[in-house]
Structure 1
């Protein structure tokens, strides 16, 4: 799609466009249809793998837009099936393996789990859990130690160029690049008239601040984000309703306020 869109929407998935518990997005369908009708674009931006996002993108009718995968570490081009190697992921797992045991033992990543283990911890069906383990760039997981050990763990990773970002469910490790980095490149490519982003977790903050307007979607399953830069000026707002219900209302309200038709 090459036409300049009137609005380009960047959205997180779990806890934002997708319900935290059911993984359903039906409640957001009215807003998705409205965006389609006005020629707006929707770019999915998540810590999920390209295989996971590719499936969801097809289901949502968004294949003609690119998607930001694995927390910004990669990009799934428009109208493309997931391809590529896992060399970055293998290198990341190698860094983890070389950490001192006292630090490494506190982190339990997807690579340390069986498919059944990923299904149990995420609530995903087995086939979806298989797709969640097909990683190319990043490693989500749970930190099981105390806060001081977590700081030491992240500092040790930083010495190897690895960063950790807190999402709606997991601590995700990667060699860099954020959702905001990918957003900047896509804005330069598509030249939208307006941009909007929606998210619910700490790893969404830079994304929310990278667009004309950002929306923090309520997620009762995690502590709310503290006030962030841009809220006081109204550049970033919050929903009262959670997940796809809040997403739907926020997008429709934003489109109406911009008088986009």
Structure 2
């Protein structure tokens, strides 16, 4: 069972294309290996991408592990958790709150401009149910104060490849066991490129760090010494394809 991050991993950091990963994806589909998309993206975004990639028989981990979209399931329509998160965020002192510009502040047009997404995908990115990604433009000291204020509200913050994402908790690793239970807990491979993928990489039987020159390099993880965590030489979906083809040949 394969768990994969998207931006900077299966999808190119700049173009969001997965074309370079198609050879490995095709081999995984031919072997009926479940491929679980695991991302900060929303359920509507992952639902659309999952259909495009012909992965609807697999679950998807949405909004950095805050929720799990079941196989063939449509996205939820009740965003109570997101509304509660936004209300808590707006209770933060204005001097700190003004430095965080979330998707709810940007709106679809702002997300289009910042992330380079087309209008339809930007609208899906704003249909949030569990978490709030955003940009931080304050100082390091202000950021520490902001994170402490969030903690008092029960909110957690995680840095991904592009955004600081707020939620009430839950990680990609938390959802892996739930997803694996649907398939009788198979051997697991996880691929990611950013610090928010670390738990997922550690939790898998084999973790793969995909090279990403656009962000801070992933620090050395304990599993690298034992060989349970590997690194790609190529970046993004080319690195994904490179490593998955090697692992497919090793495991089959």
Which TM-score bucket, shorter chain as reference?
Answer: over 0.9
Residue 43 of structure 2 is aligned with which of 45, 50, 58? Answer: 50
Q: Secondary structure at the match of 2:134?
A: strand
Q: In structure 1, how many angstroms separate the alpha carbons of the residues matched to 2:178 and 2:89?
A: 30
CA distance in 1, matches of 2:165, 2:142: 16
Aligned to 2:225, what secondary structure does the other structure show?
coil
Q: Which residue of 2 aligns with 1:187?
A: 180
Q: What is the match of residue 10 of structure 1?
A: 3
Are residue 206 (structure 1) and residue 199 (structure 2) matched?
yes
- Report the CA distance between 1:234 and its aligned residue: 1.1
Q: Deviations over 1:162-195 (max 9, x none)?
A: 1001111000000011100000222233224411
Q: Distance in 2 between matches of 1:29 and 1:173?
A: 32
The more displaced of 226-235 and 211-220 is 226-235
Question: Could you list the per-position Cα deviations for residues 211-234 of structure 1 after superposition, in whole angstroms to 9, with x for gaps in the alignment?
Answer: 100000011111211112211111
Q: Secondary structure at the match of 2:232?
A: strand
Alignment deviations for residues 97-141 of structure 1 (CA, whole Å, 9 cap, x no partner): 101111111111001113111101000011110110000000000
Is 1:195–1:213's contact at 8 Å kept on the other side of the alignment? yes
1:165–1:172 CA contact under 8 A, matched in 2: yes
**Partner secondary structure for residue 251 of structure 1:** helix
Does residue 72 of structure 1 match 2:65? yes
Give the drift of 1:257: 1.1
Task: Say yes or no: does 1:96 pair with 2:89.
Answer: yes
Q: C-alpha distance in 2, partners of 1:130/1:21?
A: 19
Instruction: Return the alpha-carbon distance in structure 2 between the equivalents of residues 21 and 31 of structure 1.
Output: 21
Instruction: Determine the C-alpha separation between the residues in 2 that align with 1:256 and 1:192.
Output: 21
Tell me if 1:132 matches 2:125: yes
| Equivalent in the alignment of 1:242 | 235
Equivalenced residues, count: 252
1:166 matched residue in structure 2: 159
In structure 1, runs of 5+ residues without a counterpart are 1-7
Structure 2 contact 38–65 (Cα < 8 Å) conserved: yes
Residue of structure 1 aligned with 2:245, choices 234, 243, 252: 252
Structure-2-length-normalised TM-score: 0.98
Please say if residues 184 and 210 of structure 1, whose CA atoms lie closer than 8 Å, have aligned partners that are also in contact: no
For residues 56 and 114 of structure 1, what CA distance do their matches in structure 2 show? 21
Structure-2 residue corresponding to 1:142: 135
Distance 1:127 1:193, change over 3 A: closer
- Contact kept in structure 2, 1:216 and 1:237, CA below 8 Å: yes
Partner of 1:232, secondary structure, is helix
Gaps of 5+ in 2: none
Task: Output the CA distance in 1 between the equivalents of 2:12 and 2:186.
Answer: 29
